[in-house]
Amino acid sequence: MPSPEWPRVEGKRWSTLEAREVHAAYYRDDVVAGMNIEVSAGDFIAIVGPNGSGKTSFLKTLSRALRPREGVVLLEGEDVYGLPARRVARNMALVPQDSSLSFGFTALEVVLMGRNPHLGRLQGAGPEDLELARQAMERANVWHLADRQVNELSGGERQRVIIAQALAQDTGLLLLDEPTQHLDINHQLSLLEMLSSMCSRGVAVIMVMHDLNLASQYCDRIIVMLKGREYARGEPAQVLTAGVLREVFGVGSIVTRHAVTGRPHVVFLPTSDAGAATGPRVHLICGGASGASFMRELLERGCYLTAGVLNLGDGDEEVGRSLEIRMATESPFSHISDAAHRDNLELVRQADAVVLSDVHVGPGNLVNLEAAATALEWGKRVYLFSPRPVEERDHTGGAARELYKRLLDMGAVECREKEELIELVSGEGEP
């Protein structure tokens, strides 16, 4: 008995999903505590957040797998938990985080199970079902595995078979829980490209992701979850900021713009107890070749070193890169932008002490002195290395000199001898 929607007319898809003030719990405590979402055709939404923030549970409440304690989930305006499972499965597919495929079905048979909600009970899979299964398998790059038994496939191949199964459901809504986790980078990208092209054809995709950069590059909207609640939402550029990432994940990061896509690109900084560094965290403001020797000496003394803002290709930047130091950077020969300055301040914030080398100061990098002033305002120790007077390296017509004086007034420590400065700095943080 063919179902009323079959054969489906293009454009009659259900693709709006709405959750209002949803609370859900497995036992006593809410794992989802008041979430909202509104999804319509063509949306590509990523849900990010730390482990245990309720992302997966939220996806489950949306997909009729975890009944909310409070609030309502509406699929095309109807309560998901009031609809029959088959009806929901014809309109919304979910790719779970892990699925057991430990039996001898072939990949094709598994994908054909995705047609189940469209088939009558005693109706077998017809040519249309086979065609949809084939298309789904090609999109998920598993068509060549059609005859293989799924228990013989690798983790990534199995993951793609399950993705193909969900695609074979041919739904207007697609929910995925960390779909890239078992995939190599090539398949991660082709999966996201494929999802993105499905969005442009009107399918709405909601995806839980851990890789913020992939989320940033492909999704229109990002929802950041923390402790079962929404912490932030919006376009990637609004949401993926160093401040949000520090609050949510508790790690420092530098957010730059991706050189090609212009979307935010996140580089995480090691946490303070990471790595071999045992000494204080020191941020070095330098440029030209004025900081290179400090970098080596401070690293040797066990300092955890960061630097910035440096122009790409600058002598210090090249040394810093070879020493694998975290740096805030700017394009070659450009004035330091606000974004780079913000990244620099983020590094300053995490440092115990700041060192300003005897760098030449021009209009392009004057803002670096302001970063040192900000450090003083935040109560950080600032050391100024000046083997020769600042006037000799002021190319701003006096502005640098003024700022330098202000730094001294605010309590910056000036050293003429490099050894003395290094002794002082590497002793930072000791009682």
Residue ranges in contact with other proteins by CB under 8 A? 60, 63-65, 84-86, 88-90, 93-94, 96, 99-105, 108-110, 113-114, 116-117, 121-122, 125, 127, 130-131, 133-134, 146-147, 149, 151-152, 165, 169
Nearer to other proteins, 123 or 196 (CB): 123
Cβ–Cβ < 8 Å for 302, 279:
yes
Minimum gap (Å) between residue 122 Cβ and other proteins: 8
Owner of token pair 């809504």? 173
Six-digit token string for 139: 């999109």
Angle at CA of residue 116, ends 115 and 118, nearest 5°: 70
**Continuous H helices in 172-304:** 185-200, 212-218, 236-239, 242-249, 292-300
Nearer to other proteins, 132 or 371 (CB): 132
Minimum gap (Å) between residue 160 Cβ and other proteins: 15
Nearer to other proteins, 124 or 250 (CB): 124
Nearer to other proteins, 81 or 231 (CB): 81
The span from the CA of 418 to the CA of 408, in Å, is 18
Minimum gap (Å) between residue 86 Cβ and other proteins: 4
Minimum gap (Å) between residue 103 Cβ and other proteins: 5
Nearer to other proteins, 54 or 287 (CB): 54
DSSP string, 76-139: TTEEGGGS-HHHHHHHEEEE-S-----S--BHHHHHHGGGGGGS-TTPPP-HHHHHHHHHHHHH
Question: For residue 140, which amino acid is it?
Answer: A
Minimum gap (Å) between residue 193 Cβ and other proteins: 22
Angle at CA of residue 161, ends 159 and 162, nearest 5°: 65
Minimum gap (Å) between residue 379 Cβ and other proteins: 52
DSSP string, 125-186: P-HHHHHHHHHHHHHTT-GGGTTSBGGGS-HHHHHHHHHHHHHHT--SEEEEESTTTTS-HH
Nearer to other proteins, 125 or 382 (CB): 125
Minimum gap (Å) between residue 131 Cβ and other proteins: 5
Nearer to other proteins, 60 or 265 (CB): 60
